Structure 1
Amino acid sequence: MDEERKTEPAKSLMKGLVAGLIGGLVATAAKTMMEKMYPPRTHGEPDPPAVLAQKLAGHQLSASEETAAVETIHWGFGALTGAAYGALAEFYPAATAKDGAGFGMALASLTHEGALPAMGLSAPPEEQTTRERTSEMASHAVFGMVTETVRRVVRKTLG
């Protein structure tokens, strides 16, 4: 009796990037919704993208300028990290472990516990509230899982 073998599609950097980018955009929407339900900053702490936008501009931004800059940074970062993840997953499938939750948690650790405090865009982890840290970790786990789910579907569709 012949067994059908599943054939894995040929590895493609471009398809991995596209699938990850789409996954990252959908995941950014999911993370945004999650943060509306369980916000990380509840005591008037500034949003890191807002602090970055002010630093990059070198002057006080108007409310509409700040909103546009924050949205651009937020969605751009989600798309770029999703694309990078998609490329990594294409050639290193172990990166998709835990259905993407590991990716999301690693991203939270690298950004909210490492790069953002180092750049002066947020408080160091030891000064962050428990709520802020748990919200960030939970919303990033959702980001990673949604990125992986969408990436997998899109990648399969691309062949």
Structure 2
Amino acid sequence: MQVLQVQLEIRPDPAEVGRARRWARSRLAGSGIGDDESLAETLILLVSELVTNAVVHTGCPAVLRLSLPLVEAESATVRLEVADRSDRAPVPRCVDGDQTGGRGLALVDGLADRWGWSPEGAGKRIWCELDRCSGSEGGATTYGNGASAYEGLAFEAV
């Protein structure tokens, strides 16, 4: 299967988060991932979280990379990476209900099928992957992590 790999340079500015979301959304159509598909919404949320972390917590420029399947397939993996120049490891935080931040990595952990990070040169690369698996029941889309979406509502199979 052919994969389209694209990247966007991110400045250390909070306005870049919105630009990264718009850029990622514009890249999905050519890969067979429809704008109305729940995979697209999940991917955009993951882009938002990882780019926000890079912009807010490092104060350094970053690079957003997407690896997207070029043809619509029953199963394919979408990979998202954010590389920055900070050598500080990402640290998941425990937050209470009143705090307005600190849930980004918990969201990534809950939404992605896999995620992790590795040192890269003087910085690091944080990545996550979503497996796309077509469901056969009533138009629902199922992801490899057991989460499903039906008519725009996401839920987790227990």
Which one has more relative contact order, counting CA pairs under 8 Å at least 6 apart?
Answer: 1
**Higher normalized strand content (fraction of residues):** 2
**Higher normalized helix content (fraction of residues):** 1
Select the structure of larger CA radius of gyration.
1
